[in-house]
């Protein structure tokens, strides 16, 4: 099919352009062969040739382009289901993620955006399963002392790693070290006077 070839095999193909656009916001977009075939079929039915590809993809991906940047999503798998029901897929992604809700709450509460990589998210989900609790409760437990970041004037965004989450005392220790450093700095200033 020529439309599939246009989407996949041409220089600066429309799929490459979408990958680049999402990539600018830290979101890796991956397109399944079934999604590409579906879009080619819809575009072919419109009988406007390759021009239809642009409008079909815009109808599918526009909401994702507005909603995913600035969120905690780092990967977008564009499969046939997403192409058939893009708005529903986006809503499921947003509502299904207590991690995103927590990150948004933390940002509103403390004005610090937490960035969690995939390994961190996997650890949170595994922790919840291991403790037989909901992911939202796991987040509350794992980040119970992370509010200290606010007192330390940590710049936003703040990258959270799996190692930090595995270490229950990480945020307490970070605050203690920061506090001791401030105390030492103020004593140095007093001694210098």
Q: How confident is the model at residue 187 (pLDDT cuts 50, 70, 90)?
A: low
Among 12-16, 30-34, 49-53, name the most confident range: 30-34
pLDDT tens-digit map of 77-134? 999 999 998 887 887 787 667 788 789 899 999 999 999 999 999 999 899 889 988 7
Select the more confidently predicted residue: 1 or 38. Answer: 38
- CATH architecture for the domain at 2-94: Orthogonal Bundle (1.10)
pLDDT tens-digit map of 42-68? 999 998 878 899 999 999 999 999 988
Q: How confident is the model at residue 175 (pLDDT cuts 50, 70, 90)?
A: very high
Do residues 134 and 128 lie in contact, with contact meaning Cβ atoms separated by under 8 Å? Answer: yes
Residues 6+ apart with CB under 8 A from 123: 162, 165, 166
> Using omega within 30 degrees of 0 as the cis cutoff, is the peptide bond preceding 81 cis?
no
Whether residue 188 has pLDDT greater than 60:
no
Q: Where are the domains of the chain?
A: 2-94, 98-171
C-alpha 187/C-alpha 144 separation (Å) is 30
Distances (CA, A) of 134 to 7, 71, 97, 107, 178: 41, 21, 11, 21, 32
């Amino acid at each position: 099919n020529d439309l599939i070839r246009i989407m996949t095999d041409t220089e600066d193909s429309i799929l490459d352009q979408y990958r680049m656009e999402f990539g600018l916001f830290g979101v890796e977009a991956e397109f399944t062969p079934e999604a590409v075939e579906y879009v080619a079929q819809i575009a072919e039915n419109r009988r406007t040739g390759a021009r239809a590809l642009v409008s079909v993809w815009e109808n599918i991906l526009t909401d994702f382009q507005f909603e995913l940047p600035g969120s905690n999503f780092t990967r977008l798998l564009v499969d046939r289901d997403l192409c058939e029901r893009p708005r529903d897929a986006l809503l499921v992604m947003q509502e299904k993620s207590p991690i995103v809700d927590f990150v948004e709450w933390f940002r509103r509460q403390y004005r610090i955006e937490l960035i969690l990589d995939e390994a961190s998210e996997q650890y949170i989900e595994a922790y919840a399963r291991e403790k037989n609790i909901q992911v939202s409760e796991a987040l509350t437990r794992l980040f119970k002392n992370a509010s200290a970041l606010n007192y330390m004037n940590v710049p936003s965004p703040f990258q959270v790693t799996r190692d930090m989450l595995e270490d229950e005392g990480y945020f307490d220790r970070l605050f203690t070290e920061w506090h001791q450093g401030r105390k030492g700095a103020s004593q140095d200033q007093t001694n210098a006077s």
